[in-house]
Structure 1
Amino acid sequence: MDFDLIIVGAGPVGLAVARGLAQRSATRALSVALIDQHGATPIDDPRTLALSHGSRMLLEPLGWPAATTPIKGIHVSQRGHFGRTWIDCRAYDLPALGYAVSYGALMRALAERIENAASLHRFTRTTAHAPIQETERVTLPIETEDGPRRLRARLLIHAAGSASAIASVKGARSKGRDYPQSALLGFVRVETPRAYWAWERFTAEGPLALLPISRVQPADYAFVWCGDPNDTQRRMACGADAARAELRAIFGGRMGCVISIDRRAVYPLRLQRVEPRVQGRIVVIGNAAQTLHPVAGQGLNLGVRDACALVDALSNEGATPQALACFARRRRLDRKITVTLTDGLARTFSDGRAERFAPVYGAALTMLECLPPIKGALARHMIFGQRR
């Protein structure tokens, strides 16, 4: 079975590439094989994503869910110490800094747009093995419900996770580190929320972020609570009343009582980058290329920018190795800045330095508030990244 492109991975980034190519190649659609290890799009997945306004601008033509909660402001502070800054969308003439989006709703919006694409062949419940790169083609052995097959294409796009990406690119290596943290994810209801505002609170053991996911009072928030793995497991296992009390003690009383906490889950945290991300006819993008700490919520936003830049390169250069090389050049700066910034924040508040250097961090937050040009440059990178 021959195709122009094979996309391994049917998550948000893989679907965005498939949809973008179908949309941009109306006159001569590129034939695409989409490899999905799952049987159906996970539209009921309740995980909450933080997508910037820049990502919304990129995704809206491809598929944007109707039910999202705008984040019009972000309050950043550190627990028990001075220093804080407010980032307000009105300072940048934007309707919102970003949006809290259900993972399942985003997947549904993207999947609906590619259902009837004549140029797309979707393989579900399919496992991809290591590809074989040849002079003119890439051969991908796959395992389907009907048995093994071999697909051939001019290019292969890997968007399915960094572990399998390393096996896909000959000579690729993983760079990164494990953080001395894990993340507790869940949902809380608070008594007196501030409408459309998100909160990033740095503590001695890691950041705590709350994202608004409803517009009524009392309101629901999704939270990402990073901390020592032992403490995270304890918070996962303890009763709801104990978890609510500890969250209230760490976050403070800015939004009144924590009424409820539920749907808790634990995730390990690490930084991982795959290098090189392009080799000949194979490219690695999105979470397959870099797995980031959730502080500042930049992982998927970086992946969305990857997807749209790759669609641009393929639309301009065709399904050629030159298109992949062009993509890699365009994305180098944005990737480097975003990975460095995210890793720096994570390490600052994860290895015991937070308490020792709290006055320095407080001064830095205060300086951001007093120097709008620096604050604006940081905010614009978080919203739009570096695009060329």
Structure 2
Amino acid sequence: MSESTARHAFGASRFSSASRAEASSQATAGASSSLRLAVVGAGPAGLALALLAARYLPLAQISLFDARPLERDVSKDPRTLALSLGSIQLLQRLKVWPAAHAQPIREVHVSQAPPTLRSPWFGASGEPEVRISASEQGVDQLGAVLSYGQLVAPLQAAWQAAAALEPARLFTRFGQPVTGMKQDTAGEVEIDAGIVERFDLAIVAEGGVFAEQARKALSHDYRQNAWVGTVTLSPGTPAGVAYERFTRRGPLALLPLPDQDGRRRAALVWCQPQDEDEVASLSDAQRLMVIQHQLPDAVGPLLDISALKCFPLGLNAERTLVEGRCVRIGNAAQTLHPVAGQGLNLGLRDAFSLVEALRRQASVDAALRRVEFQRAPDRWATIVTTDALARSFVWRWPGLPAARGMGLAALQALPPVKRMLAQQMMFGRR
């Protein structure tokens, strides 16, 4: 890892083995002393936060709530997650990164489908494109792709093991949906999950998808559908390359997956305007043909496609992460368009920053003020950038494709700017 990358690593110096020795003494006098903490939602962000809190807030009592029964097998959930390098480093530090089930991303290839600018200056394809490789950034991988189940299962197993070692401090409340939550004037949060319990701080990590959410302070329906599934690639297709293709109808992405039975695969995210969406009426062969036509030649022939699922897309975000003694992280704080693939990564950075603030600040309120201040630049940069990209596909302004193509070409031609983009993609805005 290069010196520059090491400086940007996901808090490596702050949550290193050397710093653990000081955690207990700092916690005794700090915000985490005798803290009663509730984590609502045992998805990746909620489980990661609970594990971080269990490890680095040694005096805190932590209760983890989720509606699903503990015995339900989550390992088979096939939903695809794309994690940044910073997120991987955090999970490695927690000793829960399932490397055997993840496909490293070695290169990201972003391009624009015709009509667009074409020039021999853009390379062999003649199309504007940006290529970001792990090797040029001095890292082994830019990120990785794996299934939801393969990530949640080891996180949950680690939590259960920690709770078994400290049953008087770590409490598992699975199979108990939270039906009510309110704050009182004494600075406590009352949570009703069949029985009523009181906490000093509640973290909501239950997000869900846009179509099922109550509308938050900032909400916009993009009138787009995301069709998701998997495609089988030709054996000669380069491994570990993520493709993002800007088309007139919306972004089209292929995310590399681990090979299965000797077949090279990729997760598909295919966005379509709802008013013109005809994907449901197409056969598998027709879907493959349309997708193939929109992808760059570098992808190679697509051999097969799975059944696809459809999800409406929108922006749904809170103005702030903190409201009194309640904090929202991940999709509970902001549900984003998948064009940038940053939803879970934002949630993990939220979790990291919250635990770090609780560990170092003198009071809970001071810690929450610190989190709100610290997370705002990264959060709003991601929200604004993702929202602008998503909206740009429904704009029909003359010259917009040409302008987007010029932007891609400029990024490729300016290595320092491309490196800044790569650092943000891997570690967020710091």
User: Normalising to structure 2: TM-score of the pair?
Assistant: 0.82
Deviation at 1:275, TM superposition (A): 2.5
Report the secondary structure of 1:296's partner residue: coil
Report the secondary structure of 2:109's partner residue: strand
**Uncovered stretches (5+) of structure 2, i.e. residues with no partner:** 1-33, 117-126
**In structure 1, what is the Cα distance between the partners aligned to 2:363 and 2:344?**
24
Following superposition of structure 1 onto structure 2, how do residues 219-258 of structure 1 map, counting pairs within 5 Å? 219-232=264-277, 234-258=278-302
Following superposition of structure 1 onto structure 2, how do residues 51-70 of structure 1 map, counting pairs within 5 Å? 51-62=83-94, 63-66=96-99, 67-70=101-104
Deviation at 1:53, TM superposition (A): 0.7
Task: Work out which of the residue numbers 346, 354, 357 in structure 2 matches 1:302.
Answer: 346
Give the direction of change, closer, same or farther, for the CA distance of 1:245–1:16 in structure 2 (3 Å limit): same
Contact (CA 8 Å) 2:223, 2:275: kept in 1 or not? Answer: no
Deviation at 1:201, TM superposition (A): 0.2
**In structure 1, what is the Cα distance between the partners aligned to 2:264 and 2:386?**
29
**Uncovered stretches (5+) of structure 1, i.e. residues with no partner:** 143-147
Contact (CA 8 Å) 1:70, 1:96: kept in 2 or not? Answer: yes
Measured against aligned partners, the alpha-carbon deviations of 1:50-100 in whole angstroms (never above 9, x if no partner) come to 101111111212221131111010111111123111111111101111101
Report the secondary structure of 1:21's partner residue: helix
Aligned to 2:416: 373
Which structure shows the bigger proportion of residues in strand conformation?
1
Aligned to 2:192: 141
Report the secondary structure of 2:200's partner residue: strand
**In structure 1, what is the Cα distance between the partners aligned to 2:78 and 2:276?**
24
How large is the RMSD of aligned CA atoms in angstroms? 2.2
Contact (CA 8 Å) 2:223, 2:312: kept in 1 or not? Answer: no
Report the secondary structure of 1:275's partner residue: coil
Contact (CA 8 Å) 2:242, 2:253: kept in 1 or not? Answer: yes
Following superposition of structure 1 onto structure 2, how do residues 93-172 of structure 1 map, counting pairs within 5 Å? 93-116=138-161, 117=163, 118=166, 119-134=169-184, 135-142=186-193, 148-161=194-207
Contact (CA 8 Å) 2:36, 2:201: kept in 1 or not? Answer: yes
**In structure 2, what is the Cα distance between the partners aligned to 1:94 and 1:219?**
23
**In structure 2, what is the Cα distance between the partners aligned to 1:266 and 1:113?**
32
User: Normalising to structure 1: TM-score of the pair?
Assistant: 0.90
Percent of aligned pairs with the same residue? 37
Measured against aligned partners, the alpha-carbon deviations of 1:206-231 in whole angstroms (never above 9, x if no partner) come to 10010111258641000101111255
AA matched with 1:243:
R
Aligned to 2:47: 15
User: Is residue 76 from structure 1 mapped to residue 110 from structure 2 by the alignment?
Assistant: yes
Contact (CA 8 Å) 2:320, 2:372: kept in 1 or not? Answer: no
AA matched with 1:59:
L
Contact (CA 8 Å) 2:316, 2:334: kept in 1 or not? Answer: yes
**In structure 2, what is the Cα distance between the partners aligned to 1:268 and 1:32?**
35
Report the secondary structure of 1:303's partner residue: helix
Deviation at 1:189, TM superposition (A): 0.3
Deviation at 1:318, TM superposition (A): 6.8
Deviation at 1:239, TM superposition (A): 2.1
Contact (CA 8 Å) 1:306, 1:331: kept in 2 or not? Answer: yes
**In structure 2, what is the Cα distance between the partners aligned to 1:174 and 1:87?**
35
User: Is residue 32 from structure 1 mapped to residue 66 from structure 2 by the alignment?
Assistant: no
Paired residues, what number?
Answer: 372
